[in-house]
């Protein structure tokens, strides 16, 4: 009886070792996480990125030549997060290094490309900036730029940053130059307030806002015009 029990234990232990070795071999053959049956989640760690991903990174590098790989990766992930595809700074670095010639060619084409004609009074850009006087006090300056002609329609110092003050200067510009179809601003509180949006709705102007955390053409145009035209502010 003892001999039979010992033989049974030995055979059982051997069977357990065989099953464990087979299971361990299957796990070693599978690289990364396995996709569950019926799951729609795709593991992009070991799959090739779609063809449009490196092309978009090349285009972004041509438009942002002085930005690093981390900045490009963050901008890409923020724009295409709804598609479920993200990139890392290592992937961006390798893509740029492999396609450095394409980036230079595309940047040259973009530099010498003629801009498409934009109808006048279709899009206006409004933004605020500041300029310090000789005493160190910062004065708020409102700028208004027309996208088609790049004309500076308004450049005035403000006594406050109230929404009603911005609407008053906007009405003065409309009375002088006509009414735009779109008004593009950033996401500052004075541009997203109920009073400001209600005033634009009464005027029949559609409000366009830039992406959060992105320095837009609105800021660059208004601040450049401020530097060129405002000059030093007295104390």
Per-residue pLDDT tens digits for 206-229: 998 887 655 555 555 555 555 454
**Which two tokens mark 15?**
């069977």
pLDDT for residue 80: 87
Phi-psi region of 38 (alpha: psi -120 to 50; beta: other; left: phi over 0): left
pLDDT for residue 214: 59
For the chain, which residues score pLDDT lower than 50? Answer: 31-33, 35, 39, 44, 227, 229-230, 232-235
pLDDT for residue 129: 82
pLDDT for residue 48: 82
Task: Kindly report the pTM of this predicted structure.
Answer: 0.56
Domain 123-229 in this protein, CATH class:
alpha beta
N-to-C CA span, the chain:
108
DSSP 68-121: -HHHHHHHHHHHSGGGT----HHHHHHHHHHTHHHHHHHHHHHHTPPPPP--TT
pLDDT for residue 212: 65
Place of tokens 């779109």: 182
Domain ranges in the chain are 52-111, 123-229
CA 69 to chain CA centroid, Å, is 14
> Residue 183's beta-bridge partner residues?
124, 207
pLDDT for residue 100: 93
pLDDT for residue 8: 61
pLDDT for residue 61: 93
Check: CB of residue 130 under 8 Å from CB of residue 139: yes
* C-alpha to C-alpha distance for 235 and 100, rounded to whole angstroms: 50
């Amino acid at each position: 009886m003892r001999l039979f029990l010992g033989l049974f234990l030995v055979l059982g232990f051997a069977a357990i070792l065989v099953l464990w070795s087979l299971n361990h071999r299957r796990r070693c053959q599978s690289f990364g996480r396995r996709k569950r049956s019926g799951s729609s989640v795709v593991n992009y760690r070991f799959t090739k990125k779609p063809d449009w991903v490196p092309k978009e990174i090349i285009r972004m590098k041509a438009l942002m030549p002085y930005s690093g790989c981390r900045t490009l990766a963050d901008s890409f992930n923020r724009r295409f997060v709804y598609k479920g595809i993200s990139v890392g700074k290592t992937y961006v670095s390798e893509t740029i290094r492999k396609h450095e010639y394409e980036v230079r060619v595309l940047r040259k084409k973009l530099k010498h490309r003629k801009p498409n004609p934009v109808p006048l009074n279709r899009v206006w850009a409004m933004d605020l900036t500041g300029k310090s006087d000789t005493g160190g006090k910062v004065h708020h300056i409102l700028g208004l730029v027309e996208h088609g002609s790049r004309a500076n329609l308004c450049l005035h110092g403000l006594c406050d940053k109230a929404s009603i003050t911005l609407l008053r200067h906007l009405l003065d510009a409309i009375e002088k130059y006509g009414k735009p179809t779109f008004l593009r601003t950033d996401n500052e509180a004075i541009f997203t307030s109920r009073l400001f949006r209600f005033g634009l709705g009464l005027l029949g102007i559609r409000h366009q806002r830039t992406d959060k955390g992105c320095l837009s053409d609105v800021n660059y145009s208004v601040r450049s015009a401020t530097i060129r035209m405002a000059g030093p502010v007295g104390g």
